Amino acid sequence: MQRRDFLLRISAGAAAGLAATSLGSCLSQPENPQNTPVDFTLDLSQFPQLNRTGGFLIKDNVLVARTIQGDYVAATVICSHEQQRKVVYDDDKNQFHCTAHDARFDSRGKGLNSNGKRNLTVYNTQLNGNDLRVYS
């Protein structure tokens, strides 16, 4: 085997290995919660951050926030753009915001810019006394 042929085979193998690694990392992305049912209840006496407007918490990849108006909203923390877990609640604008690439969504999950065009999965909330149910 010529040295040139040997080097070509090595580089082809390296490219195949790189492709397999990239594919593997794609496959290990976090599960998209759009297909995962959500149903849990929070005792608000245990979560003071939800007793003030603009406060939020994250449980099981679900962000639960209290809006300036005093309502509760919930959405996945996994962004629809590139599936990063970087969605937060921006109380100044009453929007969900992904800090990775600035995707923005209204409180109903509707995308507000190009990185948010796939919308965001949101969940229902229901307050019964001190219990806040979050469900899909």
The site for ligand FES (CB under 6 A) is made up of 79, 81-82, 84, 86, 98, 100-101, 103, 115
As measured in angstroms, the least distance from the Cβ of 32 to ligand FES is: 12
Q: Nearest distance from residue 98's CB to ligand FES, in Å?
A: 3
42 vs 80 by CB, closer to ligand FES: 80
CB-nearer residue toward ligand FES: 89 or 132: 89
Helix or strand or coil: residue 112? Answer: coil
User: Measured from the CB of residue 57, what is the shortest distance to ligand FES in angstroms?
Assistant: 20
Of 47 and 61, the one with the shorter C-beta distance to ligand FES is 61
Beta strand spans in the chain (E): 39-43, 56-59, 62-66, 72-76, 87-90, 95-98, 103-106, 122-128, 131-135
Nearest CB to ligand FES, comparing residues 84 and 119:
84
10 Å CB burial of residue 56 (0-12, 13-18, 19+) is: buried
**Distance separating alpha carbons of residues 63 and 130, to the nearest angstrom:** 18
Torsional sign, CA 51, 71, 135, 119: negative
The CB-of-81 to ligand FES minimum distance in angstroms stands at: 3
